[in-house]
Structure 1
Amino acid sequence: MAICGNFNYWTALVEKKRFIAELQENEKFVSSFLVKAKTLGNTRSGNPFLRIRLGDHTGETEGRIWERALEFDQDFSVNDVVRVHARVERYQGKLQLNISDIERLDPEEVDPTLFLPTGPQDVNELWQQFEDLAKQVKNQHLQRLLQGFLSDRSFVEQMKQAPAAKSMHHAYLGGLLEHTVSVTRLLDRICDHYPRLDRDLLLTAAILHDIGKLEEFSYQLHLDYTDAGRLLGHVVLGVQRVRDKIDKLEGFPPTLSLTLQHLIISHHGEYEFGAPKRPKTLEAFALHYADNLDAKMNHLTRLLDNEKESPSHWTPFQQVYDRFVFKGTGEGQEVADIQADNSKDEPEPENYSFLDMLDSSAKGEEH
């Protein structure tokens, strides 16, 4: 494709790699991004345009192609890496890209680490916390089981890299380790408050509850499901992995094995949320709610962070929660009307409680 605009100006920018988090309003730039989504639409006057969501390891942004949209639409697909020539503009309080030219890049020439999102915490520090939490388990059978995983170099490397989800929560490299440490620390505190809980069993289950995600997701250039992830899911994959380890441990108590597997297989809580069995022990209930809470807090926190630039006190309507989310009224923040395309009557349930929120997990293939 021929580059639109001043050729010499754009050519001078080609070598300046720009990340999404660095972009400034009115800036012209050339850089490469991963295509997260694209939609072909029409303006009010009937002219075609492309709406594109672009990402790299620092974040995501929206882009628009107003000229030659039909032509460009044939040149790239979702999950391609593209080089864009664009200007940063502000629209409805948010930065977005006005793209004048776009071209698909050869995947062999792309560094995947530039485009996969990464977590906010250092993975080596998280791993140290992971090991420290595992050492708290005193039951000799459960400790042997955990050491069987921690001594596996492949397991260690996978845990440091794997995401916890494709899009909902902790959907970035290292996200699984961050989520696992957070859930385990939360349950360690819950055990202090509810001393009847079996701490060793609960901590072990928390550490292992999502290890099926090591096989559920691929993350070479973009986050996606593996065949095993789609056909079986991480709950089944995780139980299989734990059972295989237990079978190699001589003298592991059958009842302990059964209750541990129950915690893992029931941690999604309800059948409609992907749980083959619902929680039936104190520890299983505790694991389910701690897992659900941590997932929602991570998703909501990132949602609010992504909406910082919008002047509205509210996020757009969130289908997964079936409601708008209040952002607060920061000092100097102006009230902005929620746009018509986001408006929707929101039925508020009577007698709504915090537990209702915990039970309203995301529907679909991921928790």
Structure 2
Amino acid sequence: MTIRGDGVEEQRLSKTGEIRRMAKDDRFKVLGVVSRASVRKDKNGKNYWDIALMDDEGIIEGKIWGNSRWWDKSGDGQVEVQDPAESSVFGELVGKTLGLAGQVTEFKGQLQYNFNAVYFLNQEKFPPHQFVQRSPIDQDTLEKEFFDLLGSCGGQVEAFLRYVFFERKLWDRFKDWPAAVAHHHAYVGGLLEHTIAVARTARSLAGTYSESGYEISVPVAVAGALLHDLGKMDSYRLVPAPEMTVVGTVIDHIVLGYSTFAALARDFGLEERLFLAIGHILVSHHGCREFGSPVLPATPEAMAVSAADELDFRLFCWKNSVEKMEDGKEITDYNVSAQRRFWKWEQGNGA
């Protein structure tokens, strides 16, 4: 499909992955579903939109300035909309399929995306769910590893995990849920992908230190990792792109997750010491109070899960930043989430 408006040159459509590799002044057109949008005022009091658009390759964030043109292409032909803020078509953008025409610009030394034309498309012909990004890892592969991790726990811990995910029927939502709306694994299946990575690493850390003579329970570390982000099922929703819920905004996933865990543990009859050990992992997994944990990790199992969670987040930020780099560069743009620039020292063949 081509998206075209008066005075806008026709060109082929790009994917978000390709756009992230473009250079300053490159122009593009893209189709996707809006995952975030807010109306703000510029210094002259005119409306502009801060927007994030998702397709199956990822998300790009940018600005729709007040001089941009807006078109309704949901019917036959196209109609220009003069006041999008008051339009019934453009009144609520989140979860809608749009076409955007834009240009790569630079602001304070960093590339950004400015959109100069917006097209509201026929939502039945271009259903939003077809543009939602999914985990790049095959679903069957993720599910198999999850079951392997769960089955490795044994005893009451494994029985409790099976109760949580299957008898209480959380699995159908859990396996498709996002892990965030922006910072990491912000796509369908992201929560499962992230959880498995954390559990895999926590199991390896716990096993290594157990073999070194430390008193550490590998099953408790794995269980805590598999449950550590349980609250994200209440903190986010898919509409169809990931979005924060009200309760997720004002209470947060750590508290929500512990509350769900505690209720399920009481219903199941989880032994009290296991209840405390696993619950402690949930409330401490962010590692420090300034990152939202009400307590610091105080057990080897909690420290293993916290370290694994942090590592998976940092490595995801590294990968995401590296994928956005222009060819020939080895230092990334500043990553706001990780609060650093990353270095891709290896350029293809390995050391």
| TM category, shorter | 0.7 to 0.9
- Of 231-240 and 61-70, deviating more is 61-70
Task: Describe how 1:53-68 pairs up with structure 2 within 5 A.
Answer: 53-61=52-60, 68=67
Per-residue CA deviations over 1:50-85 (Å, capped at 9, x if unaligned) read 886533222234677789438576464663635436
**8 Å Cα contact 1:65/1:100 also seen in 2:** yes
Which one-letter code corresponds to 2:250 in the other structure? L
Given the alignment of the two structures, is residue 255 of structure 1 paired with residue 287 of structure 2, yes or no? no
- Label 1:180 to 1:326 Cα distance change in 2 as closer, same or farther (>3 A): same
Per-residue CA deviations over 1:235-282 (Å, capped at 9, x if unaligned) read 1221222222222234x3212211211111111121111112211212
**8 Å Cα contact 1:40/1:51 also seen in 2:** no
- Of 129-138 and 225-234, deviating more is 225-234
Q: How many residue pairs are counted as aligned between the two chains?
A: 317
**8 Å Cα contact 1:57/1:113 also seen in 2:** no
1:212 corresponds to: 231
Given the alignment of the two structures, is residue 197 of structure 1 paired with residue 216 of structure 2, yes or no? yes
Which one-letter code corresponds to 2:131 in the other structure? F
Given the alignment of the two structures, is residue 178 of structure 1 paired with residue 174 of structure 2, yes or no? no
Match of 2:245 among 226, 231, 236: 226
Distance 1:180 1:277 in 2: 21
Given the alignment of the two structures, is residue 155 of structure 1 paired with residue 170 of structure 2, yes or no? yes
Task: Describe how 1:125-164 pairs up with structure 2 within 5 A.
Answer: 125-138=141-154, 140-152=155-167, 154-164=169-179
Per-residue CA deviations over 1:315-338 (Å, capped at 9, x if unaligned) read 22334444333333748xxxxxxx
Distance 2:190 2:110 in 1: 27
Distance 1:85 1:202 in 2: 45
Given the alignment of the two structures, is residue 279 of structure 1 paired with residue 297 of structure 2, yes or no? yes
1:360 corresponds to: none
Distance 1:311 1:201 in 2: 45
1:357 corresponds to: none
Given the alignment of the two structures, is residue 20 of structure 1 paired with residue 16 of structure 2, yes or no? yes
Given the alignment of the two structures, is residue 318 of structure 1 paired with residue 316 of structure 2, yes or no? no
Match of 2:140 among 113, 121, 124: 124
Task: Describe how 1:326-337 pairs up with structure 2 within 5 A.
Answer: 326-328=343-345, 330=347
- Of 260-269 and 27-36, deviating more is 27-36
**8 Å Cα contact 2:314/2:338 also seen in 1:** no
Q: Runs of 5+ in structure 2 lacking a partner?
A: 70-81
- Deviation, 1:100, is 5.9
Distance 2:265 2:276 in 1: 11
Higher strand share: 2
Per-residue CA deviations over 1:142-170 (Å, capped at 9, x if unaligned) read 12201102324742211221111111111
Given the alignment of the two structures, is residue 299 of structure 1 paired with residue 295 of structure 2, yes or no? no
- Deviation, 1:191, is 2.1
Q: Runs of 5+ in structure 1 lacking a partner?
A: 332-367
Given the alignment of the two structures, is residue 309 of structure 1 paired with residue 326 of structure 2, yes or no? yes
**8 Å Cα contact 2:33/2:132 also seen in 1:** no
- Label 1:121 to 1:153 Cα distance change in 2 as closer, same or farther (>3 A): farther
Distance 1:264 1:51 in 2: 34
After TM superposition, the score normalised by the length of structure 1 is 0.72
- Deviation, 1:181, is 0.7
After TM superposition, the score normalised by the length of structure 2 is 0.75
Distance 1:35 1:179 in 2: 20
CA-based RMSD of the aligned residues comes to 3.8
1:362 corresponds to: none
2:255 corresponds to: 236
- Deviation, 1:28, is 7.3
Distance 1:236 1:64 in 2: 34
- Label 1:322 to 1:285 Cα distance change in 2 as closer, same or farther (>3 A): same
